[in-house]
Structures are given as structure tokens and as C-alpha cells.
Amino acid sequence: MNLESNAYGVLLAAIASTAWAVFVYFIKRALMNAPVLKVTAAMTSVNAALVTLIAVFFISFEDFWSVTATTLMFAFLAGFFHIGISRTFYYRAIHRIGPNRSIPIALTYPVVTAVGASFMLGETPTLSIFTGLAILLVGITLIVQAEPSRETEAEARGARWQLFGWISAGVTSLLWGVAAIFFKKASLNLHPLATAATALWVGAATASLLMALDRGGEESRGPIPASAWKWIFAAAVCQTIAVPFYNFAFVHTLAVRVTAIISAQPLIVLLLGWLFLREIENITPRLVLGALLTVAGTIVVIT
């Protein structure tokens, strides 16, 4: 891997990370007074349509089909886990405990990949892994102990409702950690835009199925408010930028570098939360320190 290609990959990963950070602000707005599962299915479907439209102009149909069944399987698995299942948990976490609390925990997913590879593939755990995990644990503890967001809905629902938000953020991290490997494997043999489009449509179908299975439950009941659609489209545009750039980055640089850059996203989210969500996001010194430590711990583990 030459220096120019590596720098290009780092730039692509940085663009993806920034787009995802801005996306969090938009999806938080879209989820206000809206059914989470319906918003997830709608936003993912719009996201898939936009990426497919871009793919049609830049790649041929052969790029979609002239691949092995194994490569397509990895793209499908990435869509099922990273897009369909994880987004459902991710948006629930954002909705219940706020972006500045859920993102630092969800973005520890590179640790899952690094630690899993170390233990499951027979590799000897390094001192940096144990050190990073210790820093990470302190950071998560500080975030959980930080004062909750000032949303009246969160206060009214109580601790149990918020607890599921914390659990959802943790599940998101686990799912992303596993799915990162699927995205990497698929993007090496399938055009990154084709990988993104395939994964997103699988994710949209999965999200729609989860919404249907909820059978009128609390998080799928009622229509999406008209006021939410502008935020859904804005969020979909951010995802349309982020997902293909994320896949392209894997092609040009090491996966560990891509995930390290993505894992620094909570710092951008904190800044956006302070600028745009101060009326509902209770950003305290403990929360900021916790986010910094989770980022630092994650990077120590994977580097």
C-alpha cells in the first residue's frame, strides 16, 4: 500500500466520520415525537435509493453481478447486521439517552473487532489491548454516571426506559464490530458503491421487517409527522455520503486506520451537540472527559 493511496484512504475515512457526526444531529431531530422503527425504515430506504442512484451513474451493472456468491453473502451480512439490525438499536439509543451519551459507547466497536481477532484467532493479547480496555472502561463509566439529558420525555419515562437506551448503544457497538469485517471483505471484491447499495437495501428490508413484527408497538405506532421528513431526508443525505466513503476508505488503507478515524467521531458529535442541542443535551465536564477517554481507549486498543 503506497503513501498516496494510504493518505487518500485516511481522507475518505475522515469525510465519512464527519458526515456521520452531522447525521446524528439530523436523526435526533427526526426522532422527536416520531415512531423510531418507522423512521429507521424510512430513512434507510431513502438512503438506499440515493446510493443506488449515484451507483447507476458511476458504475456498470456488471459491477453488481460479476462477483462470487461469497462476496454477495458478505454484502448481505453487512446489510443485515450493520444497517438493518444495528440501526434499529442505534436510533433507539439516540432517542432515549441522547447522541452525546450513545455515540461514544456505540463507536467503541473497533475494540470488538480487535479483541475478537486477538482471542478468537489465537493471537496473543498485547499490553496495548489491556491498557486501551482499561481506559475505555473508565470512559464508559464516566459517561454512564454523567447527568442525563434534559429531555422531558426521558425524565417522564424513567430509569428503565433509559436503561434500554444504554443497552441499545452497547448492542450497536457489538454489531458494528462484527459487521466491519463483512464490509471489508465485500468491498475488496465488489465495487464499494455496489457494496453500499446492496447492504443498504438489505438493511432497509430488515428494518421494514422489524417494524412489521413490532405489530403496532410503541416504537412503530402512528404516522411519521410531516415535520420529521425534512430531517429524515437530511439524515439520509449524510448517510449517502458516509457509507460509500467508508467502503472506499477500506480499499485504500488499512481497516485499523479507518476504524480509528471513525471512532474519533464522538468528539465532533459533542461539539455539534453543544452548538445545536444545548436545550436538550446536558453536556457536562464528566461527559466530555468520558467521551475523550472512550476515543483514546479505542485508538490504543486498535493501534
Looking at the predicted structure, is the pLDDT value of residue 56 above 70?
A: yes
Q: Is 279 exposed, middle or buried (0-12, 13-18, 19+ CB in 10 A)?
A: exposed
In 3D space, the residue among 275, 274, 295 whose CA is nearest the CA of residue 284 turns out to be: 274
Max mean pLDDT among 40-44, 61-65, 66-70, 187-191 falls in 40-44
Looking at the predicted structure, is the pLDDT value of residue 230 above 80?
A: yes
| Overall pTM > 0.85 | no
Q: What does the pLDDT look like over 130-143, one tens digit per residue?
A: 787 778 778 777 77
State how far Cα 71 lies from the chain centre.
22
Domain boundaries, the chain: 3-302
Half-sphere exposure of 207 (CA within 13 A, CB side): 32
In 3D space, the residue among 164, 124, 142, 89 whose CA is nearest the CA of residue 266 turns out to be: 142
Q: What does the pLDDT look like over 236-291, one tens digit per residue?
A: 999 899 888 887 887 777 766 777 777 777 777 777 766 665 545 566 777 778 77
126 and 194 Cβ atoms separated by less than 8 Å: no
Work out the pLDDT band at 85, boundaries 50, 70, 90.
Answer: very high
